[in-house]
Amino acid sequence: MEAELTEDTFRALARSSPWRFTALHFTWRTWPDGDVECWLRRPGRLWVRDAGRDRVVDEETGTLPEPVLRADGLVASRPRAHTHDIDDPMWGNYVFVSMLDPEELSEDVTLSDLRSEPLAGRETWWARAVPGEGYEPRCGCCPLLWSRVSDWFEYGDGAPGWEPPAGTVYPEAYDIALDVATGVVVRLSPVGGSRADLAFETTIHEAEMSVASA
């Protein structure tokens, strides 16, 4: 059954990545750092070509838990990744990990302006996202949706009256694109704010799909 784009299916796709593909060849582009070419094989194997050098990152991972699947094959509910050690290997910081498995977009994030529009020839779902008060990133110091909410939990310990450093300007929202086949974030762009370095693009060259997603 093919899913149609709604807020509900967008959230479900954001939960689904660990069960949708087993291997991925892609280029990750960040600003101002530029491009790195990556080959990921789950579980726990990452090969990165950075500035002409090849590096291998291996990490031990836990057993992939069985999620609750919907009729359309997307994930209805799942354990948080950190509770089962199923994260993919990290490159740079946890934004990379969350790009590959963006479960943090599935809850306590307001979505609007939904549309289905191809990117680089691949079916892609787009949304404008605003983190809510309960938004819980994979890592508070490098969330997908940097915001007062994420800083409040990370640096203010959720204390009443906490304020960010003077001059901090958070984005109003984020424009986010998910690759439908894999669930990976293929584009993220802040709307407003003071940090252009939050934006990134992921160009998928080849994916080996899991049996469950076929």
pLDDT string in tens for the chain (214-residue length): 578 999 999 999 999 999 999 999 999 999 888 999 999 999 999 999 987 778 888 877 778 899 999 999 999 999 887 777 889 999 999 999 999 999 999 999 999 999 999 999 999 999 999 999 999 999 999 999 999 999 999 999 988 999 999 999 999 999 999 999 999 999 999 999 999 899 999 999 999 999 766 5
Count the Cβ atoms, other than its own, within 10 Å of residue 25: 16
Task: Give me the CATH number covering residue 154.
Answer: 2.50.20
Query: Could you give the number of structural domains in the chain?
Result: 1
Residue 22 covered by a domain: yes
CA-based nearest residue to 187, from 139, 142, 144: 144
Residue 2 covered by a domain: no
Residue 170 covered by a domain: yes
117-143 as b/e, with b when 16 or more CB fall inside 10 Å? Answer: eebeeeebbbbbbbbeeebbbbbbebb
What's the rounded Cα separation, in Å, for the pair 101 and 112? 21
Residue 141 covered by a domain: yes
Residue 214 covered by a domain: no
Tell me what pLDDT residue 184 has.
98
Tell me what pLDDT residue 203 has.
98
Is the distance from CB of 172 to CB of 191 less than 8 angstroms? yes
Residue 56 covered by a domain: yes
Residue 131 covered by a domain: yes
Q: What is the pTM of this model?
A: 0.94
Tell me what pLDDT residue 82 has.
72
Tell me what pLDDT residue 142 has.
93
Domain that residue 50 falls in: 7-209
Residue 1 covered by a domain: no
Tell me what pLDDT residue 80 has.
83
Residues 63-122 have pLDDT tens digits of: 889 999 999 999 999 988 777 788 999 999 999 999 999 999 999 999 999 999 999 999
Is the distance from CB of 94 to CB of 154 less than 8 angstroms? no
Tell me what pLDDT residue 213 has.
64
